[in-house]
Amino acid sequence: MCRFLAYIGPELPIESLLLAPENSLLNQSLDPELHPSLQLAGWGFAAWSAHLLKPDAPLLYHRPKAAFHDDNAKTLIPSLQAHTMLSHIRAASYDASVVQADENCHPFSFDHTPWIIAQNGALPHWRQLQRELLPHCKDQYLTQMRGTTDTEFLYVLLLSLLEGDSDDDVQRGFEKLLKVICKAARDLDLAALTKLKIALVSSDRIIGVNFGCGHEGETDVTGDWEKLREEDLPLSMLLEPIYLLTGANFDDHANSYDIDPCPEGRPPRPYSRQSR
């Protein structure tokens, strides 16, 4: 499975997020849990910093190779810091149809929107579903699509459905996204388990969304994801949560992802998650 990590908070060296922890994102790619889908298909990150010449735009980096073999990582990353960051490691099966290229590395970023996106998920049959979904897509985003991944197409579809950038607008946009996907799958008789674990990020803002539908296209999926690991791994992965840490003093816990947790009674809001 793919992996992503998002950060928002005080400016800090992104080395402390991507390289230094023993279980850093790059180190995790050396020992993936789901071995049939190794993290070999590329990786990337986007970072916002007040110290960049263009502080309102993300610095984007992509490399179509295994993150742990990226010879640039240990020279580039220690020179950077950020107050908002999104990084992603792409998993792929052993299949010659998998295209390893910059254009297929997350995060994806288009013009005319503040949002970038990364995903740990999959939209089955997405190429066939385009027959029903393309009418919902706006040309200003379709013409920017360069790669061959379902995530980039989901990005096009989501941006086309958004009516604004407020929390409520984004929530409605994601609800519409799943609704039109499920309808297209039913109309084309292509219903299948769809796991959408998405990070939507802009400067000083992170929105994490974990949703999808079951094997028959149902959206009211329930169950104990840990118990399902032995019985139905794909369904287990759909139900598994996105992990969220909120707190302070990250810098006091060197070489780890530990923080001083937020006081009880101050949980993050459901869709706009200021988190580490």
Cβ atoms of residues 110 and 160 within 8 Å: no
Cα(118)–Cα(135) distance, rounded to whole angstroms?
23
Element (H, E) at 183: helix 167-187
Cβ atoms of residues 115 and 174 within 8 Å: no
Q: What pLDDT does 27 receive? A: 80
Q: What pLDDT does 269 receive? A: 44
Q: What pLDDT does 26 receive? A: 82
Taken in order of first residue, the domains within the chain and their CATH numbers are 3-261 (3.60.20.10)
**In this structure, what token pair is assigned to residue 184?**
């297209």
Element (H, E) at 28: helix 25-28
- Kindly calculate the radius of gyration of the chain based on its CA atoms and give it in whole angstroms: 18
Query: Where does the chain show beta strands of DSSP type E?
Result: 3-13, 37-38, 43-48, 59-63, 81-89, 92-93, 108-109, 116-119, 194-202, 205-213, 247-248, 260-261
Q: What pLDDT does 264 receive? A: 59
Q: What pLDDT does 254 receive? A: 85
Low-confidence ranges of the chain (pLDDT < 50): 34-36, 267-276
The DSSP secondary-structure symbol of 156 reads H
Q: What pLDDT does 271 receive? A: 32
Structure confidence by residue, pLDDT tens digits, 225-238: 999 999 999 999 99
Q: What pLDDT does 33 receive? A: 55
